[in-house]
Amino acid sequence: MRKVVDHRTQTDSVECSPPATALPVTIIRPSRGWISLNLHDLWEYRELLYFLTWRDIKVRYKQTVLGAAWAIIQPFFTMVVFSLFFGKLAKVPSDDIPYPIFSYAALVPWTFFANGLSQSSTSLVASANLIKKVYFPRLVVPISAVISGGVDFVLAFVVLLGMMLFYGTVPTAAVVWLPLLLLLALVTSLGVGLWLTAMNVQFRDVRYAVPFLVQAWMFATPIAYPSSLLDEPWRTLYGINPMAGVVEGFRWALLGSETAPGPIVLVSALVAIGLLVSGAFYFRRMEKTFADVV
Amino acid sequence: MNDVAIRVKNLSKQYRIGGPQVPYKTIRESLIEAGRAPFRRMRKLLCGHAYGAAEMDATIWALKDVSFEVKRGEVVGIIGRNGAGKTTLLKILSRITEPTEGYAEVHGRVGSLLEVGTGFHPELTGRENIYLNGAILGMKRAEIERKFDEIVDFAEIERFLDTPVKHYSSGMYVRLAFAVAAHLEPDILLVDEVLAVGDAEFQKKCLGKMKEVTKEGRTVLFVSHNLSAVQRLCESSFVLDQGHLIFQGIAQAGVARYIDIVRSRRGNAILFKESKVDTGLRFVSCYVAEEPGKPVNYLRYTVGGHLVIEYEVSRILHGAQVTFELWHSEYGCVLSSTSLDRGVRTSTLSPGIYRSELTIPPFLIRPGAYWVTLSASVPGIQMFDEIEQACQFDVTDDGSPIALLSQGRRGIILPVLEWQITCVDSGA
C-alpha cells in the first residue's frame, strides 16, 4: 500500500458539499513481494509510538508489590549468583576488575536487550485486538516494546553508578560512547525482535523458543567471562554476536578495561544493522497478513 | 471528479479456510507427511504465502468484484446477512487488511468505529485512556487536548476521570469509548454496528451524534442490522450477499431488497431425527410461517405469522399436552403456552401425525432473535419428548411507522395499545 498526497484543489465547487481543500488520497491495492518500509507513515504516527511506549511504562509494574524494584532485582541478583559461582568458585578471570562490577556492567545492557527482545517478540500477538480493529503502521508495536525497557535500564544503571562509587572505579573519557553502545543494544534487540514477532504471528512456537534463545545467547555473550579469553582473530569475530560488542564496549567505556574493543564493536554494529534492516523488511512483508492471521 | 470520497474497483478478498489438501493414505505415508509437514509449512509461510492455515487449501471469497463510488457527504448504509462481506469491506477501506485483488481510492482521513474501546487499557485511568485511545484512532495530541472536555461531557464520566477503567461499569466503559471515537473528525467515517451498545438512552445519543456527523457533510459508511436506523440515517444503501454487491440505490429500496433475499432463502423447517426409544409421542418438525406450509426464517413485526409444530403419536395417549416456550435471545422466556390451556383435561390422542398451528399476532413480539423450546408430557406423570431450541427465527423490524417510533423503547413485548383519551376535567 502506498500513500500519495493529492495537491489538487477543487475548482468547480459543488453546491452543499463542503469546500474541499487538498485531501490526502489513499490508494489501497494488494501489495506484491518485498515492499518499502514506509518510514513516512511511521513518522506520521510518532505520537502513537510515544503513547504506546508511555502506556507500557505506566502499566509495567502495576499490581506488583515491589514495583520498579524489579528492574534492579533482576540484574543485581544475577550478578550475585555469577559472582559466587563464576567469580569465587570457578575463579573466572575478569580483566583485573572486581568480579561483581565486571559482571554487573555487562548485565545492565544485557537485561535491557533480553527484556526488549522478549517483549517485542510477543508484542504483536499481545496487541492482536488492536491490529484487527485499527490501522496504524504495525512497526510501532515492537518498537515501543523495546523502547519502554529504557526506564528499567536507567534504574539498573543508577545502581551500576553506585557500585562504581563503592569500588572507586573512575570512568574513562570513553564514556561518551555509552549512548551509542546503548543504541547498538537497542538496534540488536529490535532487529531480532522484528524477525521473531512477525514469525510469532504465524507460529506460536516462537513464544516457547524465546526464553531458550535468550538463555543460550546469554552464555554466548561475554557476561560471566571476558572475551580476552579468546585470541585474535577469534576475538574480533566474536563481534558477530552484536551483544559481545555491546558488553565489551560497556566495560571499556565505564570500567576502563584495557582491552580496546574497537574491532569487536565495529563487527557488532554491522551485524546489528543487518539484523535490523532485514528484520524490518521481513516484518513489512508479513504485515499484510497480520490482521487476518493473528 | 473531486467530489468522490471513495472509489472501489473490482475489490476482492480471499480467505483460506477448510480442510487439509490430501487425505493421508497409509501409516508410512502419514508418518513421512508428519515429518515433512513442518518444513513445508515453514517454507510456505516464509515465502509469503503467509496464512495461518497454510496447509489448508480451501478458500472463500469474502468479497468478490465489488465496485462502487461514494460521493463526498453521502451517507451509505451497508446491509447484508452475516458473512456477506460487510465487515471485510470496512476492514479493507480502513487499511486493516489488504485486498487480494482490486483497487480502492479513499479521499481524506478515514476514521473507523469498527469496535469501540479498542486499545483501552484496564489499568489506566479514564483520562489516560482518552489520550491513548485518541492516539490509536489517529488523533494528534493537540486535537485530543482541544476536545478533551467535550469527550468527558459526552461520556458523562467527570467524577471517574482519574479512576482506572477496570473499575468502570460496562456502561461507563462503552460510553467513554464511544465518546472518544465520536469526536474523531474524519472526512470519512466507517461505522460497524456500534449502536448495539449501551442503554437505550445512550443509543439515542449515539444516533444523534451520527446524525450530527452526517449533517456536517462527512461521508459515512454505516454497517448495521438495524434496518430502521439505516432508513433514517442513510440516503442510499448497498446490499451485499455472499461477497457480491447486489444492489446499490436509495435506502428504502435497499432495505426492501435485503428483506427479499432473506425471504427467498429456503425456510428452515427443522426436522427432528427419530429417537431410538419410542415413548409414544415425538416431535417431527417445528417452524414459523407467514402462509401455511411455507417455512421461513423470520417474521415481520407488522405482519405476524404462525408457529407450526408437528408431532407423531404412536399409541393412544390420554391427557397428553404439548408445550412450547418462546425465548428472546436477550430477554429470556417471553411466553409459554400448552395445548391444554383451554381447559381440556381429558384429551385423547390416537396414533397419527398431528400439526398444531399457533397464530403469532402482528404488533406484539418485538423485533429480535427468538427460539422455541418444545416439550410433550402427561403433566406430572410422563415426559415424552423435549427439544431445546427446536426452531430459531428472527422477528424483523421492516421499517413500519410503528417500528420507527419504538426505537429505544423498553419492554419484552411491543404491543400497539389503544389509547382511549377523554377529557375528564377541562380545568375551568
> Domain containing B251 — which CATH number?
3.40.50.300
- B323 and B384 both lie in a single domain: yes
Put simply, the answer to whether A6 touches B107 (Cβ < 8 Å) is yes
Which of A8, A51, A288 is the best substitution to test chain B (most B C-beta atoms within 10 A)? A51
pLDDT at B366 over 70: yes
The model's pTM: 0.71
The lowest-confidence range among A176-180, A228-232, B53-57, B419-423 is: B53-57
Identify the top-confidence range among A133-147, A165-179, B30-44, B82-96. Answer: A133-147
Domain that holds residue B26: 18-57
Residues B66 and B202 reside in one and the same domain:
yes
User: What dihedral angle (degrees, nearest 10) is formed by the CA atoms of A210, A215, A218, A223?
Assistant: 150
pLDDT given at position B389: 73
Quote the CA–CA distance of B236 and B154 in Å, as a whole number. Answer: 29
Number of A/B CB contacts below 8 angstroms equals 138
Looking at residue B262, what is its pLDDT? 65
State the DSSP H helix or E strand holding residue B34, giving kind and residue range, or none if neither.
helix B27-46
Q: List CB contacts (< 8 A) between A130 and chain B.
A: 118-119, 136
Strands laid side by side in the B4-16 sheet? A2-5, A24-28, B101-107, B4-16, B59-71
Contact check, Cβ <8 Å, A16/B45: no
A62: three-class secondary structure by DSSP: coil
Domain ranges of chain A: 37-293
Percent composition of chain B: helix, strand, coil (DSSP 3-state, to 5): 30, 35, 35
| Helices A242-255 & A262-293 angle (0-180, nearest 10) | 130
What torsion, rounded to 10 degrees, do the Cα atoms B334, B337, B341, B347 define?
-170
Separation of alpha carbons B391 and B374, rounded Å: 9
What DSSP character marks residue B316? -
B373-409 pLDDT per residue, tens: 888 888 878 888 888 777 888 888 776 666 666 666 7
Note whether B88 and B217 are same-domain residues: yes
Residue B128 resides in a domain: yes
B114 with B258, same domain: the answer is yes
Is-contact B20 B40, C-beta < 8 A? no
Cβ separation B96–A291 shorter than 8 A = yes
B228 in the same domain as B288: no
- B381 to chain A, closest Cα gap in Å: 53
Q: How many structural domains compose chain B?
A: 3
Contacts of B121 in chain A (CB under 8 A): 55, 59
Query: Does one domain contain both B32 and B180?
Result: no
Average pLDDT over residues B143-157: 89
What is the per-residue pLDDT for A229? 84
Is B422 a domain residue? no
Q: Nearest CA to CA, how far is A25 from chain B (Å)?
A: 4
Q: Confidence class of residue B414 from pLDDT cuts 50, 70 and 90? A: confident
Query: Are B225 and B317 in the same domain?
Result: no
Written in H, E and C, the secondary structure of B385-414 is: EEEEEEEEEEEECCCCHHHHHCCCCCCCEC
Q: Does residue B146 sit in the same domain as residue B50?
A: no
**Quick one: B341 and B373 in the same domain?**
yes
Q: How far apart are CA A170 and CA A178, in angstroms?
A: 14
State whether B253 and B276 are in the same domain.
Answer: no
Of the CA atoms within 13 Å of residue A288, those in its CB half-sphere come to 25
How do beta strands B305-313 and B352-360 pair? antiparallel
Which tens digit of pLDDT belongs to each residue from B160-217? Answer: 999 998 898 877 887 888 888 888 888 888 887 655 555 666 667 777 777 787 777 7
Q: What is the block-wise mean pLDDT of chain A (294 residues), using blocks of 10 residues?
A: 40 38 78 76 89 88 79 91 91 86 93 95 89 88 94 93 89 87 95 94 86 94 87 83 92 80 88 95 87 79
Q: Give the mean model confidence (pLDDT) for residues B38-46.
A: 64
Contact A31 B138 (CB under 8 A): no
B325 and B196 inside one domain: no
Instruction: Provide ipTM, 2 decimals.
Output: 0.79
- Do residue A59 and residue B101 have CB atoms under 8 angstroms apart? no
CATH of the domain at B321: 2.70.50.60
In the numeric block, the cell 408430557 is attached to: B377
Question: Which three three-digit cell numbers place residue A108?
Answer: 545492565
CA distances to A9, A15, B52, B74 from A19, in Å = 10, 9, 45, 15
Average pLDDT, integer, range B276-301: 82
